[in-house]
A and B are shown apart, each in its own frame.
Chain A
Amino acid sequence: MNGRAPQHGTRALHATGRLLSRYWTVLALVAAWGAWVRTQHLNQIVAPTPAAVFGDVLDNPGAYAPDLGWTLLNAAVGVALGMLLGLAGALLVWTSPVLSGLMTPMALIMRSVPVVAMIPVIARVVGFGTAAVLTITTVVSFFPVFVLAGSGLRAAPAATRDVFTVLAASGLTRLRLLLLPGAVPALLVALRLTAPTAVLAAMLAEYLLGTHGLGQLFARSVTFMDPARAWGTALVATVVSVLCFVGARAAERQGTARFT
C-alpha cells in the first residue's frame, strides 16, 4: 500500500533468519528426538513425542507454575545467600592472611566436588525438606562467589591502591570506594556461573530430598507414569536455566561496561 508493509516483512524475515542461524541446533535436536521416537516405535511411557511434551506444557501451565515458582524461589534465595556468604567469606579472607591460607585451598577443593556427592552429606546434617534444598543451592553458589570475589577484591591496580594509601584511606574507605566497586565485574561473572547451576541444583535437591518444586513434580510424574509431564518438567527446567544464564549474562555485560 505505502511500501512500509513489505519493509516490515523483510525485517521480520531477517530477524527469523538470524534466530534460525543462531539456534538451529535446538530445532535440530527437537526434530531428531521426534524422528527417534517415531522410527524406533517407542512406547509413550519410554519416550513421548515432542508434540506430546510441548502440548502438555502449553495446555497445562497451571500444573507447572506452582512448582516452577517454588524451584525459582529456592534457586534465587540460594543464589542470594551464596553471594552474600561468598562475599562475606572473601572479605574475611581479605582481612586476614591466616584465614586466607586456611580457606582458599578448601574452597578450591570444595568447588570441584560435584553437587550429587554433597547431597547425601547435607541431608545427613540438615535433614530433608526445604532447609536441605536451600542449603544445597546456597553451597553450590557459595564457592564460585567466594573464589571470584576474592580475586575481584585483589583486582585493583597497584597505582590506584598507592593513591589511596597516600590519601591516608582507612581500610573501610578503601573497601567502600575502591575494592568493592572493583569487585563488581567478578561478582557478576559469579552470578552468570551460578544462576543456571542453582536452578538445576535446586531441582536435583528437590527430587531427592524435597517436598515441592520441579524436582518433586518430576518424581511424582514418574511415579504416576505420566511421561509427558515428566519430560515437560525437564523441558521447563532447561528453558528456565537457559533464561537464567541469558539474563545473568546480560547483567554481566551491563555491569562490566559500567565498572571497567
Chain B
Amino acid sequence: MATTGISESPPAAPAPPAPAALELRGVTKEFSLRRSRTVTALESVDLTVGHGEFVALLGPSGCGKSTVLRMVAGLEEPTYGEVLVEGGAPAHLVRRHRLGIAFQEHALLPWASAYDNIALPFRVAGRPVDAARVTELLELVGLEGFADARPRQLSGGMRQRVAIARALVLDPEVLLLDEPFGALDAVTRRRMNFELARIWADQRITTLLVTHDVDEAVLLADRVVVLTGRPGTVRHVEEITLPRPRDRALARNAEFHDIVDRLTALLDEGAE
C-alpha cells in the first residue's frame, strides 16, 4: 500500500519459480567421532525433487543415503550447504506434521494394534483420530482384516505396510522411505515393490526412497540418483521413462533390464 508514491511497484516481473519440493544445495555432512576426529559422509551433494515426483536414491551401503534422508527429515543438520523442503527448513514441515517417514525397522509400537499404530500420528499431533481415514489406509495397504492385530502377530511384509500406512495417514506433502523393504526376503520384497507402486500411483506424493536394490529403484522411481563413494557424491542421475502403471509385466520389458544393467555396472565401478 504505497501512499506516498515513492515506492513503485515492480514492473510485472515473471513470478518466481515455485520452490522445488526438496532441494539439497552443495550439502556436505561431517560427523564428529571421538577425540575430535571427523568422518565426511557426504561431499557437496546437489539434489532436487519436484512436486509429485518419485526419486530413488541408489547406492551401496555406507555411501550416505540415510544421511541425506535424515537431513531432509530434520533429524540431522548439514555441516555445509542447505537443505530445503518446500522452500524452507525441514523443521517447518515437521512442525505442521506434513512429513511422512518409514524406516527399514518398522518402528511400530509393539503394544498397539495395526489400527492404533496407523492412528498414532493423529494422537501425536493432538488431533482427534479420523477413524474413516485410518480404515481407508488399512484398506489401501491391503490389511482390512488385521486392524486388531499387534505387530508381533503380523509378518514382516505386513508390518512394513502398517509403517507405510502410518507415514501416509496425515496426507503428507513429502514421503521419506529409508530401505523400507530392506529386511524382507527377495520374493516378499518384490511383491511389496509392486504394492508400493500401486499405492504411490493412488497418492502421487513427493517421495524420496533410499535403497541399495537397483531393481527396486528403477521399478518405482521417476528418477534414480546414484550415489557412490565415501564420502558419497552424486555420480549419475537417470530419468526413468518406463510407462506407468508399472506391474509385473515390467519383468519382460527390455528397457527395464537395460537400465538395471547400466546402473548396476555404475555401482560396480563406484565400488572399486
**A168 touching B125, Cβ below 8 Å:** yes
- Chain A residues with CB below 8 A from B124, complex form: 164, 167-169, 173, 177
Q: Is A101 an interface residue (CB 8 A)?
A: no
- Chain B residues with CB below 8 A from A181, complex form: 109, 111
Size of chain B's interface in residues, with CB distance under 8 A? 27
Q: Is A9 an interface residue (CB 8 A)?
A: no
- Chain B residues with CB below 8 A from A166, complex form: 73-75, 94, 99, 101, 176
**B111 touching A157, Cβ below 8 Å:** no
A192 to chain B: closest CB distance in Å? 19
Q: Is A260 an interface residue (CB 8 A)?
A: yes
Looking at chain A's contact residues, the main secondary structure is helix
**B110 touching A168, Cβ below 8 Å:** no
Q: Complex Cα distance A260/B94, Å? A: 28
Q: Is B121 an interface residue (CB 8 A)?
A: yes
Q: Is B103 an interface residue (CB 8 A)?
A: yes
**A168 touching B107, Cβ below 8 Å:** no
- Nearest residue (CB) in B for A258 is B111
**A157 touching B99, Cβ below 8 Å:** no
**B107 touching A159, Cβ below 8 Å:** yes
Q: Is A29 an interface residue (CB 8 A)?
A: no
A119 to chain B: closest CB distance in Å? 40
B64-108 vs A, CB cutoff 8 Å, 1 = contact: the mask equals 000000100111000000000000000000111101010111011
Q: Complex Cα distance A165/B99, Å? A: 11
Q: Complex Cα distance A126/B105, Å? A: 51
A172-187 vs B, CB cutoff 8 Å, 1 = contact: the mask equals 0100011001001000
Q: Complex Cα distance A184/B96, Å? A: 31
Q: Complex Cα distance A172/B109, Å? A: 17
Q: Complex Cα distance A259/B97, Å? A: 27
- Chain B residues with CB below 8 A from A112, complex form: none
A73-112 vs B, CB cutoff 8 Å, 1 = contact: the mask equals 0000000000000000000000000000000000000000
Q: Is B204 an interface residue (CB 8 A)?
A: no
Q: Is B197 an interface residue (CB 8 A)?
A: no
Known: A157-B105, A159-B103. A165 touches B75 (CB 8 A): yes
Q: Complex Cα distance A164/B103, Å? A: 13
Looking at chain B's contact residues, the main secondary structure is loop
- Chain B residues with CB below 8 A from A177, complex form: 109, 120, 123-124
Q: Complex Cα distance A162/B75, Å? A: 7
Give the interface centre of B74, B96, B110 by most chain A CB atoms within 10 Å: B110
A244 to chain B: closest CB distance in Å? 26
Known: A165-B75, A166-B74, A167-B125. A260 touches B110 (CB 8 A): yes
- Chain B residues with CB below 8 A from A259, complex form: 110-111
- Chain B residues with CB below 8 A from A27, complex form: none
Q: Complex Cα distance A163/B70, Å? A: 11
Q: Is A160 an interface residue (CB 8 A)?
A: yes
- Chain B residues with CB below 8 A from A173, complex form: 123-124, 126
Q: Complex Cα distance A258/B104, Å? A: 24
- Nearest residue (CB) in B for A173 is B124
A199 to chain B: closest CB distance in Å? 30
Q: Tell me which of B97, B108, B111 contacts A167 (CB under 8 A).
A: B97
Q: Complex Cα distance A164/B95, Å? A: 12
- Chain A residues with CB below 8 A from B152, complex form: 260
**B107 touching A163, Cβ below 8 Å:** yes
Known: A167-B124, A259-B111, A260-B110. A162 touches B101 (CB 8 A): yes
- Chain A residues with CB below 8 A from B121, complex form: 167
Q: Complex Cα distance A178/B105, Å? A: 16
Known: A166-B75, A166-B94, A173-B124. A178 touches B101 (CB 8 A): no
- Chain A residues with CB below 8 A from B126, complex form: 173
13 sample A-B contacts, Cβ–Cβ < 8 Å, listed by A number: A159-B107, A160-B108, A162-B73, A163-B103, A163-B107, A168-B95, A168-B124, A173-B123, A177-B109, A177-B124, A259-B111, A260-B110, A260-B152
Partner-B contacts on A (CB < 8 A): 157, 159-160, 162-169, 173, 177-178, 181, 184, 258-260
